[in-house]
Structure 1
Amino acid sequence: MSETATTATHLVTARSARFSAAAFNYGNIISLLAPFPLMIFWLGASMFVYCMNRHHPNEKVGHYTQQAAYRFYGVTGFFVAVAMFLPVNLNYYLIAWAVGAAILLPLTLRDLARIRRESWEDMEILAEPQE
């Protein structure tokens, strides 16, 4: 039985790569809008987005995803640790959210601007051979 190796390629468009690079940043912004329900959901969904995009065929997508994740997980991890020592008063938690937003929002917007200015090109990648 002889097997013929067929090499198929898959096109990753520049538009798709640019959106993938920005996806984690978009999630960060949306989670900052209403932190109590959305931040919790984004914490779980962000792990999926990170796994999908960190090892994208376009290395720039992985880089921007990793930078956005470092910021988000660093800020949220810090404030989880700080929240252990805050008094049970909503004002303290709102202040923590405002400080977190003041850290994340400018850096996230900066990255989105960089992603938009970056030159993105279509890529052809080899697809897995199918039997």
Structure 2
Amino acid sequence: MALGSNKTVTAEQAKKNARLFHYGNILSIAIPFPLFIFWFGASMFVYALYRHHPNPRVGYYTQKGAYYFYSLAGFLVVILTFAPRVLFEDIRYALLLWGLCALVLIPLSIKEIMQINREDWKDTEYKDNTRNTGNT
């Protein structure tokens, strides 16, 4: 491909990309250890990849998913930093905290996925500014 050639992102690809962050959020809270920690790192890659997607709606939904996840992660850092020792000794408190997090994050992510599915997606054309030298 030449520099500046036009490419197309199909509507189905854009819809799939928009849902990815929300699926990661659900999976990370459904199986919190170790997926919450792994998703914290992987989500930064997904965010960087899709926030400036050629279809601006993909970036919008990725950003909303990031708001939800990073807000929850920040909340957990504050809570667990100043938590009393009993929170770490009694599994019931940890399960309660996990349940509260799931109660917040899962419905928000499902709501966003449903909204993504209802939205009318269109193919997006963009100019490819990468240089292909043929050396692969």
TM-score of the aligned structures, taking structure 1 as reference length: 0.90
Deviations 1:60-100 (A, max 9, x none): 11110001100111011101210121422222121111101
Shift of 1:6: 6.0
Moved more, 81-90 or 91-100: 81-90
Query: What is residue 98 of structure 1 aligned with on the other side?
Result: 99
Structure 1 runs, 4 residues or longer, greater than 4 Å off: none
Shift of 1:7: 4.0
Alignment of 1:37-116 (within 5 A): 37-84=34-81, 85-86=83-84, 87=86, 88-89=88-89, 90-116=91-117
Moved more, 83-92 or 47-56: 83-92
Give unmatched runs, 5+ long, in structure 2.
none
- In structure 2, what is the Cα distance between the partners aligned to 1:57 and 1:96? 38
Shift of 1:109: 0.5
Structure 2 CA distance for partners of 1:6 and 1:37, relative to 1, 3 Å:
closer
3-state SS of 1:21 partner? helix
| AA matched with 1:46 | S
RMSD: 1.5
Moved more, 27-36 or 5-14: 5-14
- In structure 2, what is the Cα distance between the partners aligned to 1:6 and 1:44? 33
Decide whether the 8 Å contact of 2:22 with 2:109 is kept in 1.
yes
- In structure 1, what is the Cα distance between the partners aligned to 2:115 and 2:75? 26
